[in-house]
Amino acid sequence: NTTELPRLTVIGTGYLGATHAICMAVLGFEVLGVDVDQAKIDKLASGEVPFFEPGLPELLTKALESGRLRFSTSFEEAGEFGDVHFVCVGTPQQAGSDAADLSYVHAAFRSLAPHMHRRALVVGKSTVPVGTAKQLAETVRDLAPAGAEAELAWNPEFLREGFAVDDTMRPDRLVFGVESEWAEERLRAAYKPVLDLGTPVVRTDLATAELVKVAANSFLATKISYINAMAEVCEAVGADIKDLADSLALDDRIGGKFLKPGLGFGGGCLPKDIRAFAHRAEEIGVGQAVSFLREVDDINRRRRARTVDLVREMLGGISGKRIAAWGAAFKPNSDDIRDAPALDVARTMHGLGGHVRVFDPAALDNARRAFPDLRYGDSAFDVARDADVVVLLTEWSEFREVDPEALAEVVKHKRIVDGRHALNADQWRAAGWEYRALGRS
């Protein structure tokens, strides 16, 4: 019966998969979340979200109470249960290479396919190099007992950390890479409540669906590096990147989103996606078409070094100086420290002999675990005590709201580096602070 909601499995309950499973159960689907990590499954089953994401813990409670959401480590159970299987496992950067590590994706497909005894759709959501879906379709055809009846589709995911619930419940668009009418119909059924909101759908082939994701992240990364390149030019001539960016943003063909200058992009997606894309393009003989992504990456890395330089310039050297580092997460409203510019800068300054102390409202535990050699504090004011300089590295609202007059009471020198253009320079200067930010004189 095609009018009934299909039963969904979500394979891989990390950031993306857990969010998808929880939100779909809240929207009315019967959902089984599957992961090879027993500890993660136990946590989720007991109502605990293993990462920081606003709004998600409340929805997990609601979904578990509804009885529509369960968790398991069994692929056999997944094969029995699901009409549509979403594969949401990670594709991190390979150690020592720019390429994506596809071992989790291949493992998930190889584990699931032998248990697909009836007609079902497997939907890839992971970010993969173009061409991967075609290979995976073969895996499904070869290993699924239902043979040609089991089908593959590709449905890239665009959710942002910190806005994951909203981006899942009310996405800007859905992209369905499909090879048959049946697959499209199944995907439409698996998103019915979202489509009922009028969400636009692009129906396309597998390769295009894979590419949409990396093309989108590459565009966003390019926009950020573009404005940061302009900041470098501003620095050379004493111009002001903030005024420049604000002026560009008012042209609605350009727009102000992802045009915020500063320390640049980090996280588990943008940096590794542009590298993997450039690498894949070289493999398939179109490296030249996206060689600019290498430049985008270089501009972005230079921001981190330039931020350290700015602190050095201001203090006349880093060694022996007391430095308050505000922020560890790769962006606000997240506890994710993967490729976090903030921690990169803090570690470099520590390595140069600075007495660096780090505070972050959500990512302290993760930072401590990953970098136990760094020193940490309990609050923005705590780490600023007797500091020679305060360096804002992640633009949490908690930092933006700090009163410069009150902070002046605890520091040794009233010096602040605003790595994210997050503070009101006039207000800080009026309170007697030496305020510096990249791209501003």
Residue 178 interacts with ligand UGA (CB under 6 A): yes or no:
no
For residue 208, report the phi and psi dihedrals to the nearest 5 degrees.
-65, -40
Q: Which stretch binds ligand UGA (CB under 6 A): 48-56, 194-202, 254-262, 377-385?
A: 254-262
160: DSSP letter: P
Q: Choose, from 23, 88, 234, 269, the residue flagged as catalytic.
A: 269
Q: Please name which of 368, 384, 407 lies closest in space to residue 322, comparing C-alpha atoms.
A: 384
320: DSSP letter: T
Give the footprint of ligand UGA on residues 101-130 (CB under 6 A). Answer: 127
- Please give the Cα distance from 220 to 279 (Å, whole number): 18
Q: Which residues contact 138 (CB under 8 A, 6 or more apart)?
A: none
- Please give the Cα distance from 435 to 419 (Å, whole number): 11
Could you give the angle at which helices 241-249 and 206-237 cross, rounded to 10 degrees?
140
Judged by CB, which is closer to ligand UGA: 33, or 262? 262
Judged by CB, which is closer to ligand UGA: 159, or 345? 159
Count residues near ligand UGA (CB under 6 A).
21
Q: How far is the CB of 405 from ligand UGA (least distance, A)?
A: 28
Residue 225 interacts with ligand UGA (CB under 6 A): yes or no:
no
Q: How far is the CB of 363 from ligand UGA (least distance, A)?
A: 12
Give the footprint of ligand UGA on residues 18-37 (CB under 6 A). Answer: none
Q: How far is the CB of 111 from ligand UGA (least distance, A)?
A: 23
Answer for which of 135, 149, 158, 425 binds ligand UGA (CB under 6 A) is 158
Judged by CB, which is closer to ligand UGA: 249, or 352? 249
Q: Which stretch binds ligand UGA (CB under 6 A): 39-47, 152-160, 317-325, 350-358?
A: 152-160
Q: How far is the CB of 394 from ligand UGA (least distance, A)?
A: 7
Q: Please name which of 20, 65, 22, 71 lies closest in space to residue 45, comparing C-alpha atoms.
A: 71
Residue 218 interacts with ligand UGA (CB under 6 A): yes or no:
no
Q: Which residues contact 83 (CB under 8 A, 6 or more apart)?
A: 6, 7, 8, 120, 121, 186, 190
Task: Please say if 234 is a catalytic residue.
Answer: no
Judged by CB, which is closer to ligand UGA: 158, or 182? 158
Q: How far is the CB of 31 from ligand UGA (least distance, A)?
A: 20
Q: Please name which of 212, 222, 211 lies closest in space to residue 294, comparing C-alpha atoms.
A: 222
Output the six-digit token pair for 131. 């061409």
Q: How far is the CB of 372 from ligand UGA (least distance, A)?
A: 23
Q: Which stretch binds ligand UGA (CB under 6 A): 83-91, 153-161, 308-316, 408-416?
A: 153-161
Q: How far is the CB of 260 from ligand UGA (least distance, A)?
A: 3
Q: Please name which of 81, 62, 254, 90 lies closest in space to residue 157, comparing C-alpha atoms.
A: 90
Q: Please name which of 131, 283, 152 lies closest in space to residue 207, comparing C-alpha atoms.
A: 131
Q: How far is the CB of 4 from ligand UGA (least distance, A)?
A: 30
Judged by CB, which is closer to ligand UGA: 53, or 151? 53
Torsional sign, CA 141, 145, 147, 152: negative
Q: How far is the CB of 7 from ligand UGA (least distance, A)?
A: 25
Report in angstroms the alpha-carbon separations of 16 from 5, 13, 71.
Answer: 21, 7, 15
Residue 357 exposure: Cα atoms within 13 Å on the Cβ side: 18
Sheet strand arrangement including 151-154: 69-72, 31-34, 8-11, 84-87, 121-124, 151-154, 174-177, 201-204
- Please give the Cα distance from 340 to 328 (Å, whole number): 7
Judged by CB, which is closer to ligand UGA: 68, or 306? 306
Judged by CB, which is closer to ligand UGA: 82, or 156? 156
- DSSP E strand boundaries for 266-367: 322-326, 355-359
Give the footprint of ligand UGA on residues 255-274 (CB under 6 A). Answer: 258-260, 262, 264-267, 269-270
The full DSSP string for 163-228 is: SHHHHHHS-S-EEEE-SSHHHHHHHHHHTHHHHTTT--EEEE-HHHHHHHHHHHHHHHHHHHHHHH
Q: Please name which of 202, 185, 269, 130 lies closest in space to residue 6, comparing C-alpha atoms.
A: 185
Lay out the site mask for ligand UGA across 301-340 (x = CB under 6 A, - = otherwise): -----------------------------xx---------
Judged by CB, which is closer to ligand UGA: 64, or 276? 276
Residue 154 interacts with ligand UGA (CB under 6 A): yes or no:
no
Residue 241 interacts with ligand UGA (CB under 6 A): yes or no:
no
Answer for which of 134, 160, 368, 400 binds ligand UGA (CB under 6 A) is 160
Residues annotated as catalytic are 269
Residues in contact with ligand UGA by CB under 6 A are 127, 157-161, 217, 220, 224, 258-260, 262, 264-267, 269-270, 330-331
